[in-house]
Structure 1
Amino acid sequence: MTPYTVSPLVRLEHHLDGHVVEIVLDRPEALNAVSVAMATAIAAATASVAADPRVRCVVLSSSQDRAFCVGADLKERNGLSDDQLAAGRPGNRAAYRGVLDLPVPAVAAVEGYALGGGFELALSCDLVVAGEDASFALPEVSVGVIPGGGGTQLLPRRVGWSRAASLIFTARRVSAQEALDLGCIDEMVPTGSARARALALAAVVAGHSPVGVRQAKKAMRDGADVPLAVGLDIEDACWAATAFSADRAEGVAAFAEKRRPVWPDSESFHPDPLASSP
């Protein structure tokens, strides 16, 4: 594991020879509240990870167990003028989109509070693992705004309109168990073990074809909100990007020879193999 700092607020830790990267939110004194600087750091971290062809899976975690992230830094925002708030909006959007648009699967490891923007960061990941004592909420309407980090779009897509409406309109907080029952999260584990479980899941993902996993995510994400016929064409293009790859040749050979595949060096494929597919 090789840790390095993107900023004083976010650090990256490399696992499994860099195939798994952990993005660690590290502003413990503010429970990882998303300030302007924090948003900039998250955007920089995700851009760095997205550009690294070695990466096969990402884990988003917190440096402490009390909170994953408590959302927007309202103390900072209380001192911003309307012009300053508007000026900071693109950077804030870039942070959440940076997580959402990662080209490899992302797993959120949630302990403690995941409130507002913190819940939205988790929703921006593909899988969410939470400790039993974790709690979740989108309380923005209680302070005069709406969930603006993707919550109004991602939560309905995860749990359906009615369940999302209940959480967003009432601003109520739910336990990890209720979040699991509603479908907001994918796994609940004993308190303090979410990070370990997320890293274990990431290791499983990282063991599979890098090209296959990236293209599977691309097909799923790009095809999620289009007509079925269009989605099937997207799937076919992503299939082509894998079918004629060195990964496919190695995977089939390994199956025939009854051995574990040894995937070609990750440096040999582009972060977006579809860009050069036949």
Structure 2
Amino acid sequence: MRQALDGITVRRHDGYVAEIVLDRPAAMNALNTAMAESIAAACADIGADRSVRAVVLGAAGTKAFCAGADLKERNAMTDAQILRQRGVFRAAFGAVLGLPQPAVAAVHGYALGGGCEFAMSCDIIVADETAVFGLPEVTVGLVPGGGGTQLALRRLGAGLAADLILTGRRISIDEAERSGLVARRVPAGQARAAALEVASAIAANSPVAVRAAKRALRNGWGVTLESALDIEDAAWRTAALSGDRREGIAAFADKRAPQWPGE
């Protein structure tokens, strides 16, 4: 299945993996208003589809995953229009961050500003040798607004987050890998294939357990260890009392592949 929306393309793979492709390569996949609306709509549809077990967020072209907001569009806007666009952009970033299924970013080339934020909104970042990350908003009089300040703080730690955000500097794949931002590094041109492989591996597991584990990982950010362990316990109970747990243990005992009911 392939569906073209304004600025993105949505594909379905192997029945269980959905792929959202940022598809404005001539503009380095820069985020404009129409594209943001499409991303929010696509994520709403995918998030509500119980048959989707994992999501890949990738990009068309060879130069960039996403170079950030479309400043050419924004340059022609009034303050009132920029504020209206702000709500649309927040909805797009929030939709990616809020996907109930695990999301894997497939990054090549520039992932700057909103592009870096989209990648950080995913659970796992797969990047190739060409990837360059950055949050350069302060260099054009802005502050990261797609979750960048908070996601960088949580994923990179206070020191490196402040370094990147306050200087606006870019980091190569080497530093991104060392910092833990990138989970998997692959050769140039292989990010999409590798991300789809990761998503397929996720999709082969219990959908109930995977969703519950994602909730535990996300909701455990920024809370006390005691609270985080309660969050983990709730996730464990969800999985342990599900049809998936019963099928998983039965399949293990029978030495066969599980047929997940997804209940």
> Which moved further from structure 2: 180-189 or 247-256?
180-189
1:92 alignment partner, SS class: helix
Residues 20-68 of structure 1 deviation map (CA, whole Å, 9 limit, x = unaligned): 0000111112111111111111111111110110011100000212110
User: Residue 6 of structure 2 contacts residue 34 of structure 2 at CA under 8 Å; is this kept in 1?
Assistant: no
Matched, 1:242 2:227: no
For 1:27 and 1:245, how far apart are their aligned partners in 2? 42
Matched, 1:171 2:168: yes
TM-score (norm 2): 0.97
Give the match for residue 2 of structure 2.
3
Give the match for residue 136 of structure 1.
133
Aligned length: 263
List 4+ stretches of structure 1 deviating above 4 A: none
Aligned with 1:221 (options 198, 204, 218): 218
For 1:239 and 1:133, how far apart are their aligned partners in 2? 39
TM-score (norm 1): 0.92
Give the match for residue 25 of structure 1.
22
Give the match for residue 11 of structure 2.
13
2:77 alignment partner, SS class: coil
Aligned with 1:162 (options 151, 155, 159): 159
Give the match for residue 47 of structure 1.
44
User: Residue 6 of structure 2 contacts residue 35 of structure 2 at CA under 8 Å; is this kept in 1?
Assistant: no
* Superposition RMSD in Å: 1.1
Residues 143-183 of structure 1 deviation map (CA, whole Å, 9 limit, x = unaligned): 00111111100011111110111111111111111211122
Q: Which runs of 5+ in 2 are unaligned?
A: none
Matched, 1:86 2:83: yes
Give the match for residue 275 of structure 1.
none
For 2:218 and 2:176, how far apart are their aligned partners in 1? 23
User: Cα distance, 1:236 vs. partner?
Assistant: 1.9
2:58 alignment partner, SS class: strand
2:257 alignment partner, SS class: coil
Give the match for residue 58 of structure 1.
55
User: Residue 31 of structure 1 contacts residue 66 of structure 1 at CA under 8 Å; is this kept in 2?
Assistant: yes
Residues 183-222 of structure 1 deviation map (CA, whole Å, 9 limit, x = unaligned): 2211211000000000000110000000000000011111
Q: Which runs of 5+ in 1 are unaligned?
A: 270-278
> Which moved further from structure 2: 185-194 or 236-245?
236-245
